[in-house]
Chains A and B, each alone.
Chain A
């Protein structure tokens, strides 16, 4: 409850209740949930077989998850064996995207520093918590969208009927799922389904370990540039563009920087690569391997690509992509969805703020969370919005019990928040993960 950067969680009836308008899908709650009660919804793996052509859209970080003895080539052939007919690396469009980002920065000097649209959790964070920085978000589609559009058009050009093509994204995090299912700044996504990385990891690794070696006709070679391989890592974007970029990972670091950006001007920075997870996508909540080791592995891979191959290959990629996608890379204008405001009307908001401040005089200010709310401030705001009451506070209950509050009633209140079972002896309580 308390790790949530947008205070979207409440405890009611012993369970975590999520306020979906506040949630940015960052997955911080998933990391710490002691019971594993939070699941990341995904599409049924077997739904890939509804399509004749089944494309696995794979982020480069997947390839760094496997044990050392499993090569990229082995992993890709395993993906083909478990049911896909084609494997495409998400970051395939990155060389082209870099040209678009460079152009965008030059064409939008008044929007600096420009915030990357890469991490969907960050885009939503800005919309709900930093509504007036929404104009700084770069209105250029992220690699996942560019690559999926490109592949779909390519296959259609080859004469494959559109409805026979199923593109499935293998996701390292929850935010990307939400971005596919309800995209911001786009009408529909070209992706047909999303499957969690941990599931794919298990299936492919089991296949490899049980002796799967059959190679299909499909060429499994990954032909992407060093910049593409490391794009999803921290610094991947910021170090690849021409303008002056800054890379920040970890949601609390990002929030600290955005707060600063709101109050005082940030000078001398053109572009901000902001990522919700520590170590960016290598630290995604659905990844399997250690984030530092995965990142190192990808960086090493990028270094081993021979110089001679890079320049020529990159030029081909850029011209291929630009012939298909030019004019189709923009995002629609993003709307702020402030959760910070107390009311739309300023007069009403002032009235509510005065009440919040009055309640705060009584609340203990230790943010214990026993009331089922992440902080005293959040409880005071809930009360003002009609979603809570002062008697939820265990401190105020003690005071009220001196007067007229029936201890039995205050016990009932606590049970309502934490559930009946919390008050029964239990030696096997789930332990907190951290």
Chain B
């Protein structure tokens, strides 16, 4: 089953919309809570990344009985040094963003730790492409 959600850069008010919708779906599908939590936390972080850094983006969610695959594409400044960005605590977030309680530099590491497969690629000046998978132990 496929779902897609728009993510608007700069709209912190609606950040979390996609993750809350996906949460509802996974609950209805009777997916085990700890797995739902992983998906939702990872997706939420990814959404916030787009809101905080990019102009706009899309979240694509593909669910089947064995896994949840999430792909996020954004139009934005891109990431020049992915390795650095992956380090816990590293952040380029502006002070305004930090004042709102975001930008602690835990986004990408958090997505990685909550997923079973994780890949990220980026082009400076164009945007970032992120993909992660959470396996579901099918009952």
Contact = CB atoms under 8 A, between A and B. Distances in A.
Given A264-B44, A346-B138, A341 B30 contact: yes
A212 interface: no
A73 B128 CA distance: 72
B30 A263 contact: no
Interface in A228-285: 259, 262-265
Contacts of B31: 346
A267 to B, nearest CB: 9
A263 B44 CA distance: 8
A354 B23 CA distance: 16
B89 interface: no
Interface in B103-139: 136, 138-139
B27 interface: yes
B8 interface: no
Given A338-B30, A342-B28, A346-B65, A262 B23 contact: yes
Contact of B20 (A259, A346, A347): A259
A308 interface: no
A106 interface: no
Contacts of B139: 344-346
Interface stretch (B33-41, B53-61, B92-100): B33-41
Interface in B47-90: 63-65
Contacts of A218: none
Given A345-B139, A350-B1, A264 B65 contact: no
A383 B38 CA distance: 31
Given A259-B20, A263-B16, A342 B29 contact: yes
Nearest to B17: A263
A340 B65 contact: no
B30 A354 contact: no
Contacts of B65: 346-347, 350
Say whether chain A's binding surface is mostly helix, strand, loop, or mixed: helix
A345 B32 CA distance: 11
Contact of B33 (A131, A342, A353): A131
A262 B37 CA distance: 8
Nearest to B31: A346
Nearest to B136: A346
Contacts of B64: 350
Nearest to B27: A340
B39 to A, nearest CB: 11
Contacts of B63: 350
Nearest to B137: A346
B16 A264 contact: yes
Contacts of A344: 30, 139
A401 interface: no
B16 A353 contact: no
A132 interface: yes
Given A132-B36, A262-B23, A350 B29 contact: yes
A221 interface: no
B19 A341 contact: no
Nearest to B20: A263
Contacts of A340: 27-28
Contact of A341 (B16, B27, B41, B136): B27
A70 interface: no
Contacts of B138: 346-347
A38 interface: no
A13 B33 CA distance: 38
A349 interface: yes
Contact of B29 (A259, A262, A353): A353
Interface of B: 1, 16, 19-20, 23, 25, 27-31, 33-34, 36-37, 40-41, 44, 63-65, 136, 138-139
Given A263-B16, A263-B44, A346-B139, 8 more contacts: A131-B33, A132-B37, A264-B44, A265-B41, A338-B27, A338-B30, A341-B27, A350-B1
Lowest 7 CB-CB distances: which A-B pairs, in order?
A: A132-B33, A341-B30, A349-B29, A340-B27, A263-B20, A347-B65, A342-B28
20 contacts: A132-B27, A132-B33, A132-B34, A132-B36, A262-B40, A263-B16, A263-B40, A263-B44, A264-B16, A340-B28, A341-B27, A344-B30, A345-B139, A346-B29, A346-B31, A349-B29, A350-B1, A350-B29, A350-B63, A350-B65
